[in-house]
Structure 1
């Protein structure tokens, strides 16, 4: 007798996701939104887990699991992080639907402020005083139009300026010995600051077109002379920004100490002697920031 086998040819719907899979998906979405929020707040990626740990009183391991989407977020935790950075839960998750903004630099006189920009249509012409957006390379700049027409300017559809309470102080370090500049920058980064090293005045000038810094360390002896003109320019942009002159040649024939002292007194500068450790520099700058 032949044996009959019954075959079920009906399609079977895939089983619903398990509860752990649902939790993982929700945790991943929350982690993506939180990471985007911290990016908007200017917090470096390598410091975000530690920031969340401190904010939510978690261990670093627990915070890292949330930031990587492995562990779920509670509603209270999301609310705490959003509120701390001046956003609502609607802002937090709504950014996933409005990610067409650009990070831009708002320039108004000596003021440099990072902002979120929604650029509009290109302008064939504009009037003096109009707020315009310009793209230079990969960077956007928002500024008030002057009397001279600005080519390739766009309208500003929307602009959001957000406070960054946890943003670390940013240093620009200029030394024609790039190894010295990089070493000091690396030491300041280890201490929780942000720092960028420059080897030439031209490099620093180019960066200042689209960026801003909270403090400067400037080598007094540059290839084309002293840093007097550069310091005068920086001080004209900000009367209170801490600026330190750095040199290892004080007392030598290469440095006129009268000029050095005159610059320090005229512009209210700090003085750092090479070789300089980052901890000593940070101590002097911290006092300068407190006295502003």
Structure 2
């Protein structure tokens, strides 16, 4: 084993312990958690790259110019890479808060057959999916569907590993709008608070960020009128000062953070991709291997 491989192994072992992997008496660690983490990280990176590309937001870092998937494929061929590997790297550089540059799982290379299967799955999705307003909200729901059924059918006690799957529930857009109109909308109509900038909105179970994104779309035009600022300035002000989210599953916070960034970049008149303020979304988590019910 080379020194570089040894360092990577040590980093992966440390990451596995953080995720709750147990070690047996021979020093071997469970690999379930690190496998799940690796799968999520690679899939999200590829998926977010497709969302960015289909909306004219995938940025080639050296030129700072948005490129299409066809253009990305040409660049990839020139570097001896496949399309999704290069597109994923570009997406990672655009989203440093979501994909940590030093994350060891992103240094793992999938077996060719597994990588090809992921690429075929992603490439086979219709373009319309990536321009639909609620598409990101369904990502986590579909990912967890099989696991949720397994846990519910097993009858086991619910713990840290099972809780995210069995408690996830996608909120339909009409429900989100109804709740926002009858809270935020009602308060604003009644004159409270005096300024929208005074609002601090926390979603303690933010999931994939559906409520946070919807609130951004409601607050931005209000701030534009109240403060006489541009759409871009209002988007960034809302992200920095108004919206906060917590979630027990770190993988969900990735989707929520991307959904908010994506909404800010695609907001009409906000001038597309640019560096955004730090997103106020965090994983509250639960202790690994904890049994709750």
Above 0.5 in TM-score? no
Which structure carries more relative contact order (alpha carbon 8 Å, separation 6+)?
2
TM-score (norm 2): 0.31
By percentage of residues, which structure has more helix? 2
Task: Tell which structure's C-alpha radius of gyration is larger.
Answer: 1
TM-score (norm 1): 0.31
